[in-house]
Amino acid sequence: MKILFQYIIFPGFLFTAIVGMIASWIDRKVTARVQWRVGPPILQPLYDFIKLLGKEIIIPKGASRGTFLLSPVFGMSAIVIVSTMLWLVILSPENSFTGDLIVILYLLVIPSIAVIIGAFASKNPLASLGASREMKLILAYELPFILIVFIPVIKAGYTIKLGELLAFQAKNGVFLNHPSCIIAFIVAIMCMQAKLTLVPFDMPEAETEIMGGAYIEYSGAPLGIYKLTRMMMLFVVPMFLVIMYMGGIIFEGWHILWGILKYVLLLVIIVLIRNTSPRVRIDQAMRFFWRPMTILAVVGVCLAYLGL
């Protein structure tokens, strides 16, 4: 029963959805300001979602119906699980909830898998193209990402429990004080951008090239769920980095505000990168992640071994 509440209301579905929508609003508002526009009202993401629910659902002829409609649902359910796990760890690091670092890493890939399978099921060549780009993007960022998430693990004495990583940071100061983790953090921000498929790594949907790519055939409620999932990811993925490198959020007086600031800082970085860079090609992205980023990550690992 408790799990039901945790999963559906707090810190699961409802909470993640609301914060995700606010994050999405911040994103759009900042983007608008950067482009000298006024920007949408705060409830705009909610309006968008409700509007999509009211629209007709169209399935392309010859597509695999079940797969096409179920994929978005699975993606959303995975991201809600990650959010629940992360928040329960933040709320009480000592009794870690059911899932360690590796579980989170694997669960974070499921939304992408859902997008890919859904796109494949839609029987559209452009969707297939977009999905294959998404898959290649996963391959690209996953290599440095695996390296850097284990840098805090080395620092904290080889534990993969998130609760213990947080406890270690509460005792010895956040990981970002160390040079090795600063390097890791820089790589992590790049990987995060790719995980969220935001510019410059938005080639899976690239509106101007492949017209939304993976999402091209989606409409109505399934598209709404995809959009909601992406809003949630905009909240969950930066939170993961906050826990890994910035000590999470401590629920005591001013610390709460400080914790929220950490997240907002990451969000602003995301928005700024997204508004100031052009889209790269998929092969450029792969080269970027497999060469400079991986080398940087290896340097970070070496520094961590040296105790820095």
Partner 1 sequence: MNLIIYSISLSIIAGIMCLFIPKRTRGVAETLGVIVSLVTFIMTIMMFGREFVSKWFLIDNLSRFVVMGIGMFGFLIVLYSLKYMQGRDRINEYYAYLLITIGASIGAVLSNHLILLLVFWGVLGLTLYMLVGIGGSDASSTAKKTFIIIGGSDVIMILGVAVTWVLGKTFIMSGIEVSVNSGMSMLAFICLAVAAFAKAGAMPLHSWIPDCAEKAPVSVTAFLPASLDKLVGIYFLGRISMKMFVLNKAMGQMLLIIGAITIVAAVMMALIQHDFKRLLGYHAVSQVGYMVLGIGTCSPIGIAGGLFHMLNNTIYKCCLFLGSGAVEKRTKTSDLDKLGGLARFMPVTFVTFVIAALSISGVPPFNGFVSKWMIYQGIVDLGRKGDKLWLVWMVAAMFGSALTLASFMKLIHAVFLGQREGGEKVKEVSSLMWIPMVVLAGLCMIFGVLAFTVPLEKFILPAVPGVSFTGLFSPSLVTLMIILGVILGLIIYMLSNFKNIREDSLPYIGGEELPVETRVTGVDFYRSIKDSKILGGIYRAADKKSFDIYDVAKRVLNYFIGMLKYLHSGLLSNYVIWVVAGILVLLIVLMKGSI
Q: Specify whether the CB–CB gap between 266 and 23 falls below 8 A.
A: no
Among 221, 266, 270, 293, binds partner 1 (CB under 8 A): 221
Pick one of 16, 24, 128, 193: the residue that binds partner 1 (CB under 8 A).
128
Report the residue from 111, 152, 204, 224 that binds partner 1 according to the rule CB under 8 A.
224
* Smaller CB separation from partner 1, 34 or 287: 287
Per the CB < 8 A criterion, the answer to whether 63 and 217 are in contact is yes
Told to check if 181 binds partner 1 by CB under 8 A, we report no
Nearer Cβ to partner 1 (34/103): 103
**Which of these ranges, 2-10, 39-47, 243-251, 267-275, lies near partner 1 under the rule CB under 8 A?**
2-10
User: What length is written for the chain?
Assistant: 308
CB of 10 to partner 1, least distance (A): 14
**Of the candidate residues 157, 253, 278, 307, the single one contacting partner 1 (CB under 8 A):** 157
The DSSP string of 173-239 is --GGGSHHHHHHHHHHHHHHHHHTT-TTS-TTT-HHHHTTGGGTT--HHHHHHHHHHHHHHHHHHHH
**Window contacting partner 1 (CB under 8 A); options: 26-34, 158-166, 168-176, 272-280:** 158-166
CB 163 within 8 A of CB 186: no
Q: Does 188 bind partner 1 (CB under 8 A)?
A: no
Q: How far is 114 from 123, CA to CA, in rounded Å?
A: 15
Candidates 5, 43, 47, 98; binder of partner 1 (CB under 8 A) is 98
Burial class (CB in 10 A: 0-12, 13-18, 19+), 308: middle
**Residue 11: is the preceding peptide bond cis (ω within 30°)?**
yes
- Angle at the Cα of 278 (from 276 to 283), degrees rounded to 5? 140
Question: Min. distance of Cβ 266 from partner 1 in angstroms?
Answer: 24
Q: Which of 185, 165, 210, 194 is nearest to 266 (CA)?
A: 185
Query: Of 280, 288, 246, nearest to 297 (Cα)?
Result: 288
Stretch that binds partner 1, among 30-38, 53-61, 188-196, 237-245 (CB under 8 A): 53-61
Does 9 interact with partner 1 (rule: CB under 8 A)? no
16 binds partner 1 (CB under 8 A): no
Task: Please provide the distance, in angstroms rounded to a whole number, between the alpha carbons at the two ends of the chain.
Answer: 45
Q: Is 299 a binder of partner 1 (CB under 8 A)?
A: no
Nearer to partner 1, 91 or 135 (CB): 135
- Least gap, CB of 13 to partner 1 (angstroms): 6
Residues 6+ apart with CB under 8 A from 56: 219, 220
Radius of gyration of the chain (CA): 19
Q: Does 256 bind partner 1 (CB under 8 A)?
A: no
Task: In angstroms, give the least distance from the CB of 79 to partner 1.
Answer: 9
From the list 46, 60, 186, 280, which residue makes contact with partner 1 (rule: CB under 8 A)? 60
- Could you say which of 142, 179, 258, 299 contacts partner 1 (CB under 8 A)? 142
Q: Is the separation of the CB atoms in 89 and 166 below 8 Å?
A: yes
**2/38 with CB nearer partner 1:** 2
Nearer to partner 1 by Cβ, of 22 and 78: the residue is 78
The reply on whether position 84 binds partner 1 by CB under 8 A is yes
